[in-house]
Structure 1
């Protein structure tokens, strides 16, 4: 029977692109014993490039421990997991090259009699790899083996976020999406991102420029285009997306809008263009048969501010 190994990998960039690094570790799946740790600085690259480099390092470490192992690669980057599993297209040339490298390592493991599977996990469940990636961003290079797990201190594990089903879709709750009390003179801010079936890097970059890298609540509709765009935006902001199926249909969009406003704070919502138009039309009192005239091209942003007393201001529409 093949040995079972679990890879936990992560990567990050302070600025996206900015100072970047990756971290990866390997555990014995049965015992949980830590077998290997790797981290490395990457210079100035994007979050997604760093995530892929972390995956490659983790797979290589697992192959070095047992070339024929059954490997489970766990990451908090939904984009990388879905692309490596073959469910999402790889649209960026840099990522195509890195994905090919990762697949070559995975193929070598399979050719030796092992297997490789990929699994998405919330960020809070990937804290050890995240800590190693921060070591990499701090300029440290780590390549440690702990073949018997001896001498390894307690793992750095943060309290896990809670996941539950809601309306048939997975919902991840965490500090970034906790209710925010509204303060006098401060509006609730919502950025609506019209999902795109093409390259999703443009809206992610636009959101990052607008909000910077500070954590924000990120909500997404349940469709593939929205979830993929939200994965790019989430990597840019450093947050996981909450799935709310109410943002998937123009008829339920206004109700989903009310939930976001009730939460308070700043929220980024990724949803289909027709839902963006439906919500803007709802706020502006535009009849449904005229909402198609509102500007919400795929990949664009619309900004809305809600002030105390439900005074709504449309800050911008159609921004790219």
Structure 2
């Protein structure tokens, strides 16, 4: 009897076309256990092309688990679902080519004794694939296989998952991300909040900005910073890594350089004066003038690094 698998897939483009990526995962249909995750950046393509690439990746991952599986594909792209079901015509050449590639995978699954059917779902029910597609848009490539009980292996290697102050998922989330042309390194600086209510508000602001996708989360060791990071981590579903260099007495510039060298998107929770120090560093403001930078406790500042000398401060004091 063939195995029953569910593929959840998504793709996105920041701009249409714009910086794009896809995400896909495979679950055991009967138990809901997570079996595989995939994500990849795509450069500059349209949203629909990214959606198709997510479908293809999901079908490939399902076939790798069981070539003759009974596969249910769930996507929030009405276009892809209707076109692959044969109810809508495919007019765009790029999508036609990708649809043929997907149909070849479907044919192989059917020839092996399996089947594939499609189901449209609202976007709210596709959050996990959406989170992976955001990783792809951030330049992260993911290819993980799970045993269905929570353990996983990553393309970076099993040893990488055991390193770092918090280990496991946190270390994997903070693994290096390859730099991609046209995709900046993004750093969200979060000034530590000083009350429970303020921490909840700050965490909600980070979630609205980044969505629910896993991100590298780094925190200074100060109590207010650690507690703020815990609130952020709960909403982003990622553990924090404590780095003493993000303290007022730490090597802040070195800490900044490490975050930029990692790539991808990193959230750093630290004291107000450390946020000021980083902004002064990237803007070339002398140390004696950095206190003039207005940074409120609990606020967010966003910095994008496009190249060695191409840095932009996207926003400050966001709440």
TM-score between both structures, scaled by the size of structure 1: 0.48
TM-score between both structures, scaled by the size of structure 2: 0.48
